[in-house]
Amino acid sequence: MRVIPVFALLCAALAAGAEEPVPTVLGPALDLTHAFGADTLYWPTEEGFVLERGSEGVTDAGYYYAAHRMRLAEHGGTHLDAPRHFHEGGSTTERVPLERLIAPAVVVDVREASAKDADYAFRVADLERFEAAHGRIPDGAALLFATGFAARWPDRLRYLGTDERGPGAVAKLHFPGLDPAAARWLVAKRKLAAVGLDTASIDPGTSQRFESHQILFAAEIPAFENLAALDLLPPTGATLIALPMKIAGGSGGPLRAVAILPGAK
């Protein structure tokens, strides 16, 4: 087993832990996760997050005790898309390598274009402009797109483009995502660990075939969706730690994502 040299970063993140709303800057760490609760956004065809209250209170023995149950789909809130999600032979959740979940973060700012066009598709030209300004996207990087849509969370209408539910609502979705041509360019020209963004899908909301999912996942590149606070990250220099629930045979799962900011010791 190969040990990834991020132990010091993990310790810094754990030492900085606190219970605060996102976005939370905790010394060297930034929380990129929307909390799971009754207002968590899911795909229109999925039931939302449900916390079933169980035991809570002082027991007959005199000590406090709380234990609840939860119901949730794999794909909703801040979560991982494992390659199996859109590729039959792809890795399931528990088989996604740690090298793809803990990686240098490269953040492409597409907020201006996304604000003008909710259906904006990130293009090869966006990637080339980024590299002209910040250098080549390095091998093994987690490529993140900051659209600014995290600020709309959890307003279903503003975030997803529709507040309707059910299969018919899927055709009414509007949010930015990765153009399939850019996905093909990334697979052919760069060696990414993962791709992530602050919207509900790697593909734009108007997509009906989810081609960017198919292209990335056939290349074993997982995705992180519904991330928070990407606009607070620098273009380069941060480290992404995106650890999902380790679900055997899963196509994805709820994710706790944080970034270790540059200069962390």
* Phi, psi angle pair for 59, to nearest 5°: -80, 170
Joined together, the tokens standing for residue 87 give 């590729």
Question: Nearest CA to 248 among 100, 91, 89, 72?
Answer: 91
Confirm if 244 and 80 have CB atoms less than 8 A apart: yes
The one catalytic residue among 34, 79, 85, 213: 85
Cβ partners under 8 Å of residue 144, min gap 6 = 105, 106, 107, 108, 195, 196, 197, 224, 227, 230, 233, 240
Joined together, the tokens standing for residue 102 give 């803990």
Type of residue found at 239: T
Decide if 85 is catalytic: yes
CA atoms of 252 and 80, how far apart (whole Å):
5
Joined together, the tokens standing for residue 37 give 């609760």
Active site residues: 85
